[in-house]
Chain A
Amino acid sequence: MDEGKKIRVLVAKPGLDGHDRGAKVVARALRDAGMEVIYTGLRQTPEQIVAAAIQEDVDVVAMSILSGAHNYLFPRVMQLLHERGVDDVLVVGGGIIPDEDIPGLKECGIAEVFTPGASTADTVKFIRENIKR
C-alpha cells in the first residue's frame, strides 16, 4: 500500500437541509481516490465541524450546503478555524451556490466552490493540488 502521507478529509453537512446524498457521493469519491474520509453526517453546526476537524487533524474540510445558508455558514466555519489558530487546513465548499456569491466566499477563505455541474474528479484533483501540508 502507498507509503506517502494519507490525505485526511472531513466531509460535513452544515445547516438544516435534510438530505446528504451529494455529500455522500463526494465522500465515496474521495475514499476511492485513496483518501481517509471522516463523514460526520447531517445538520452539523460550524462549531461541531471545527471541533471535529481539529480532533481528526484533517488536511481538508469539505462542506456541502443546499439550504441557501452558505453565506452565513461558510464564513462562520472560516472564522472559527481562524479563532482556533488553524490556518493550514484547505476548506472547500459545494452545493447549490449562485455564481454571484462565489467571489465573496473565496474572499473569506473558501479555497474553491464546486457547484452541481462539477464532477467529483474535479474535487479530487483540486484537493490533491492544493493541500497546504
Chain B
Amino acid sequence: MGWQEIVSRALVRDIRAVSRLISIVEDRRSGFEDAYAAIYPHTGKAHVIGITGPPGSGKSTLVDKIAAEYRRRGKTVGIVAVDPTSPFTGGALLGDRLRMQRHSLDDGVFIRSMGTRGHLGGVARATSGVVDVLDAAGYDYVLIETVGVGQSEVEVASLADTVALVQVPGLGDDIQVIKAGVMEIGDVFVVNKKDRPGVERVVAEIRMALDLAGNVSGRSRAYSGHHGPTGATTGTVDATEVAPWRPPILQTMAESGEGVAEVCDTCDAHMHRLSEDGALVERRFRRARSETMQIASDLIWRGLADDRRALDAAEELAWKVARREMDPYAAGWSLRELIVN
C-alpha cells in the first residue's frame, strides 16, 4: 500500500491502515509529511483528553474504565498510552495496554502504545501526530495517557482539550499536589483509590491549592483577555458573562469503576464550557502554535546537523569558547549568523 491508499483507508477507520499510518507518523517514514498533510484537514473533531498523574496512580485503569463508559454511551475512543523509553538502551516496556485488554475485540476502541523515544515532557515527540491520526480516523474521543509524571512533565496540556490530573492518597508527602507544579494544568482533578485511607486529605489539599491559585484552572486564567488570531473568535461572548471554570475534584475507585461516569460527565461539561466561552479556539490555537514552533525548531536543528559548514564552524567556535577566547553568547550569535545567512 502506498501512503495515499493508507490515508484514504485510515480516514474510514480501516484498523490496519490507521495502525500503519500511526507508524508512518511516529517513525517519520518516507511520505510522512504528505500523509500528514492529507489527514490534517480531517482533524479537530475529536475531544482530546489527557490523563496524567504520578506513576502507579491508576491512569491506565482509569483510561480503561473511561473508554468503557464512553462506549456505553455509543461513542468511539482512540487511546494513546505513553511509557518511558530507556535512555540507555533505547528500549521500552509498554505495559499500559495490559489494563485495557477488555477492549481488544471492540472495533470502537483503538489502543496504541508509544515509547517516549528520548523526549521529555511526559509524552513522545510524535504523540501529537498520533492523536491527529486517531482524530482524522473519526474517533469521538482521544485519550492520552502520559508517562507517570514527577515534577514538570506537563506537555500534555498543550495537546489536550481537557486534562484530568490523577492523584492518590498515601504518596507520603502531604503537599505533593502543590509541590509537583503540575496543578496549573488540571481541568479536572481525579482522586483515585478512594478505597484507601487519606482521600479526604488529598481532596482538601487540592481544594486549598485551587483556592490559592484563585479558583480557576491556570490555563483558563491564562487565556482570559486573549483573543483568537482574528480577534473575532470570542467577540460574541463576553468572557465575564460565563463564570470561570473551577476544576472539579472527583473521587474514583478505578478498579471497580466507581465514580468514572462522573469523570466522563465532567470532561464533557468542560468541553461544553470551552466551546461556550471561546476558550476552545484559544487552546487549539496554542496547540497549533506550539506544534508549529516545535517543528520549525526541529527543522532548524536537523538542518544544522546536516550542514557540514555549520558543524565545522560550531566546532571551531566551541574551541574558542573552551580556550576562553570568546564567550558562549558571542559564539552562539556568530553561529546563528552563519546559519541564517
Contacts and interface: CB of A to CB of B under 8 A. Distances in A.
Whether A associates with B in a native complex is yes
Given A57-B19, A84-B16, A37 B101 contact: no
B115 interface: yes
A36 B19 CA distance: 16
Given A57-B19, A57-B20, A39 B104 contact: no
A101 interface: no
Contact of B97 (A1, A5, A38): A38
Contacts of A6: 27, 90, 115, 117
A48 B112 CA distance: 14
Interface string A20-50: 0000000110111111111111001001100
Contacts of A73: none
Interface residues of A, number: 30
Which residue of B15, B86, B92, B110 has the most chain A CB atoms within 10 A of its CB atom? B92
Interface residues of B, number: 29
Contacts of A36: 85, 91-92, 94, 113, 115
Interface in B74-118: 85-87, 89-95, 97-98, 101, 104-105, 110-113, 115, 117-118
Given A40-B98, A41-B98, A54 B92 contact: no
Contacts of B113: 36, 38, 56
A129 interface: no
A106 B88 CA distance: 35
A47 B105 contact: yes
Contacts of B95: 39
B98 to A, nearest CB: 4
Nearest to A30: B91
Contacts of A2: 90
B101 A44 contact: yes
Interface of A: 1-2, 5-6, 27-28, 30-41, 44, 47-48, 51-52, 54-57, 84-86
Given A36-B91, A41-B101, A48-B101, 4 more contacts: A32-B89, A37-B93, A56-B113, A57-B22
7 contacts: A1-B117, A33-B89, A37-B91, A38-B94, A39-B97, A54-B19, A55-B104
Closest 6 CB pairs of A and B: A31-B91, A57-B19, A34-B90, A48-B104, A41-B98, A34-B91
